[in-house]
Every structure is written in C-alpha cells, then in structure tokens.
Amino acid sequence: MRRMFAALAVVLFLPAQPVTAFDPRPGTPHAAQGTVEVLFSPHDDAEAAILRILRGAQRSIHVQAFLFTSRPLAAALIEARSRGVNVDVLADREQTLRGVNSLIPLLAEAGIPVALEVLYAAAHNKTMLVDAELADGVVITGSYNFTYSARMRNAENLVILRGNPPMLRAYLDNWKRHRAEAQPYAATQQAH
C-alpha cells in the first residue's frame, strides 16, 4: 500500500509537460449582440433554416463539416457557387474518404474548393459562415451534422447567430486556421 501511495505521489508531483496544442489563456469573451435562433431536431426543421440562409448568401459561404450527406444542402452550396458566391469547404478526412454517402466528392466535382482536415482524431466542427465579411453575416453552429440523420433521426441542436461581427470574425479566424492546416481534396485523392 505504501508503494502505491509513493508511486501516486511521484505522478502527482512530476512537472507537467508543456502542451503545445493549447493556448493557456482563456477564450475571448464576445459581447452579447444581434440575435440567436435555436433549433432542435428532429422537432424543428433545422435543415430548412440552413437552406433559407444559404439561398440568401451574397458573397461567401465557409463550411466546416464532420459529416456531409445532405443532398438539399449540397445542392444549395452548388447553386450558391453558380450564382457567384464564393463557397469553401473543410471536411474531416476519414469521414470523407470512408463515408459511402459523403457528398464532399460531389461538391469538389462541382468546382467548390474542398480541403480535408488531417491533423485531428476527428475534425468535429459543424459550422457554416455565411457572408462572413459583411456586418450582417451569419454563424451556423451546434451539434447538427449536415446529414439526413441529423435532420430526421438524431437529437441535435443548431444555433444561428446574426448581427455579431466580433463573433463572426472569431469563427472565420478559426476556419482560416484550420484551412491552413488542411490538405486540398484533390491531392488527398491522388495519395489515397
């Protein structure tokens, strides 16, 4: 018993190894401003809310997806690109390459720039930033994957934030950081 306590004491008092992936500072607080819309699937039609926002996009759509199998959302992204909206997609590598229903290849075939996140066990972000450079841009986030199951089968939440430029900038900066670490989809396909 004494040895167990001695071993525990050694572990507890060992100097902590520096963790380079984490910034020890607290997150940046953002003032509450604008509006917050909350939807809960399957009771609320979260996909319809996303589609309304995508159809109103004027300049840009930045997507970060773990899973992407929703045909209506894929069609809306392709349609937005065809009317001149800049659409950029980040996706989880494993879910994209192993997922039999992933529509990420369809988005890439439609000419939408796609990059795959490769540095994480799971690139689990589920965000869409619409018109991020405009004051009335929109952040869409939550547990909601861009899938049929998220819409109809799962208990999910979706939060839509409007009218909060500092919050939008924080999400866009994070999106850009992840994009800088990601690999272009075409290069990943050739290596796979």
Set 126, 136, 178, 192: catalytic member: 126
Set 30, 44, 45, 124: catalytic member: 124
Instruction: Verify whether residue 131 is a known catalytic residue.
Output: yes
- Is 0.95 topped by the overall pTM? no
Q: How far is CA 149 from CA 67, 68, 75, 103, 124, in A?
A: 10, 11, 17, 14, 16
Residues in the chain: 192
Could you give the domains of the chain?
A: 46-191 (3.30.870.10)
Instruction: Verify whether residue 176 is a known catalytic residue.
Output: no
Using the Cα atoms of residue 107, residue 109, residue 112 and residue 113 in order, give the sign of their dihedral. Answer: positive
Per-residue tens of pLDDT for the chain, all 192 residues: 555 444 434 434 444 444 456 567 777 777 778 889 999 999 999 999 999 999 999 999 999 998 899 999 999 999 999 999 999 999 989 888 887 799 999 999 999 999 999 887 787 889 999 999 998 999 999 999 888 888 888 888 899 999 999 999 999 999 999 999 999 997 555 444
Instruction: Verify whether residue 126 is a known catalytic residue.
Output: yes
